[in-house]
Structures are given as structure tokens and as C-alpha cells.
């Protein structure tokens, strides 16, 4: 069984002994009930992983001895998914599964046909849920690099990201080209756009296309917006050799 993973500050991981306290330490000591002699991994979420052994435990913290350190290089190419806001809690589902498979950045997008819209007074809370979901899913998946979850993007900002990408793709059920036929770059950044339940509008598709976004389809069926991103990410991760 793999040892559990917890988050810690980069500076703390440089030491030979680490005090894991706060919410992470409380969870490790009280919920996971880790005891001296057990293995634990700590990560800063930016590529540094420390293999540790529990030296001491109380009800709110663990004292850990670092036995080895590893630094994972940045993935190549980098995979970014622009995710139109799904309704209900399907946004967190999309973030969770995309984090598990290895997406490097998730951009919430306020598309025209999104049923859900993050009003200004609720935006920070909704974004916080997405980021918390990515953090917990990353730990569960034993990722040493957690995905970035950016601020809410407008269509104009999404178009900008497409112009900057090495490969820009837009999932669309009426596209002629299958995603599986796309030749992925060896480096740089792949940006993939996933539309809302109601679909991408003609105006949005035109604007994203003008920015370099190539329409592609996943297959003969139409997936929910909350599952299309993870399915497409799996295809791209296999094509790039990251899987």
C-alpha cells in the first residue's frame, strides 16, 4: 500500500525533520491515525516530494524524519483544459477527475450558454471549492505537482490562451477531425476547450477559431461537459507519451 501524501511548505521540506501541523497535521494524526514508524510522503505541490517516517505523533500534529527527496521535472508538453462551468456539483467532479489523470492547469470559463454563472459575490467561494477539490484529488493521486486552477476566464481571455498555445483545440460534436488523429507537440502547451451543456455558440466558435482553436470531436457520442475534459485529456496524455 502506498504511503499517504500531505502538503507542506517548500522551506520545511529542506530540513531533516519536519513538523506537520495545522489542518494537514490534524488530519494525519486524528483521521489517518498515523503512528511512529509509519511511512508518509510530503509534497509542496510544485514538484518536490519528501519521503518521511513518523518520529512522533500527538492529536494535532506529526513529527517526521525525511529519508529521501525527489523533484519531478515540469511535464512536457503542458496540458491546459478550459472548462466551461457545469451545473451543480459537476464542476468539482470535472476538476477531480482531470486532476487524477494529470491535467496541469484548469481554467474555469464563463461561456455564454453556461447554466451556472459565478456571480461576483459568490465567485471566490466557488473558485475556492474548485481549488480545494484539485488539492485533495492531487494528494489522492500522489501528484507532486498539483494543477493550477486559475481565476474565472472570459471568452476573450480564453482566446488569448489559444493564441499562446503550441496546440489549441476546441471540442465540438460537429467537428470533422477526430481528436485521436491530432499530432501532439513534444513541448510547449496544449490548450483544450470544453464547452457547456448547451454547447459553444457560433460566435464563440468563430472567435476561438480565429485565435487558432481547431475544432475536434471525441467520438460518435456526446459526453457531458463534466466528463468530456477527462476523456479528451486521456487521449492527449497518451498521444504525448505522458501516459
pLDDT tens sequence across 63-104: 999 999 999 999 999 999 999 999 989 999 999 999 999 999
Task: Give the structural domain span for 46.
Answer: 5-71
Residue in 135, 103, 141 with CA at minimum distance from that of residue 232: 103
- Same-domain check for residues 235 and 119: yes
Structural domain tally of the chain?
Answer: 2
Enumerate helices (H) and strands (E) in the chain, giving the number of each.
7, 11
What pLDDT, on a 0 to 100 scale, did the predictor assign at position 1? 74
**CATH value at residue 26:** 2.40.240.20
- Average pLDDT of the residues in 138-146: 95
pTM of the model: 0.93
Residue at a domain's end among 27, 51, 71: 71
Summarised one tens digit per residue, pLDDT across range 181-210 is: 999 999 999 999 999 999 999 999 999 999
- Same domain? For 65 and 181 the reply is no
- Name the strand (E) or helix (H) holding 21: none
Q: Are both 118 and 225 inside the same structural domain?
A: yes
Query: Domain of 224: which CATH number?
Result: 3.40.1280.10
Query: What's the pLDDT score for residue 166?
Result: 97
Same domain, 52 and 142: no
Average pLDDT estimate for 7-11 = 95
pLDDT in tens, 29-47: 999 999 999 999 999 999 9
Amino acid at each position: 500500500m502506498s504511503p499517504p501524501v500531505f502538503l507542506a511548505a517548500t522551506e520545511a521540506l529542506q530540513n531533516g525533520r519536519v513538523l506537520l501541523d495545522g489542518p494537514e497535521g490534524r488530519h494525519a494524526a486524528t483521521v489517518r491515525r498515523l503512528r511512529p514508524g509509519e511511512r508518509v510522503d510530503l509534497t509542496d505541490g510544485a514538484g518536490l516530494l519528501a519521503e518521511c517516517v513518523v518520529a512522533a505523533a500527538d492529536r494535532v500534529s506529526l513529527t517526521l524524519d525525511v529519508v529521501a527527496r525527489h523533484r519531478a521535472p515540469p511535464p512536457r508538453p503542458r496540458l491546459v483544459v478550459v472548462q466551461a462551468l457545469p451545473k451543480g456539483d459537476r464542476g468539482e467532479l470535472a476538476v477531480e477527475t482531470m486532476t487524477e489523470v494529470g491535467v496541469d492547469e484548469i481554467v474555469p470559463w464563463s461561456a455564454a450558454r453556461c447554466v451556472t454563472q459565478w456571480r461576483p459575490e459568490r465567485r471566490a467561494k466557488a473558485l475556492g471549492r474548485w481549488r480545494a477539490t484539485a488539492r485533495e484529488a492531487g494528494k489522492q493521486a500522489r501528484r507532486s505537482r498539483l494543477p493550477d486552477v486559475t481565476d474565472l476566464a472570459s471568452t476573450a481571455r480564453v482566446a488569448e490562451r489559444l493564441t499562446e498555445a503550441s496546440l489549441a483545440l476546441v471540442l465540438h460534436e460537429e467537428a470533422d477531425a477526430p481528436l485521436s488523429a491530432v499530432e501532439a507537440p513534444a513541448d510547449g502547451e496544449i490548450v483544450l476547450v470544453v464547452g457547456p451543456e448547451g454547447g459553444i455558440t457560433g460566435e464563440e466558435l468563430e472567435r476561438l477559431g480565429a485565435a487558432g482553436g481547431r475544432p475536434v470531436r471525441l467520438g460518435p457520442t456526446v459526453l457531458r461537459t463534466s466528463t468530456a475534459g477527462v476523456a479528451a485529456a486521456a487521449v492527449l496524455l497518451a498521444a504525448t507519451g505522458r501516459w
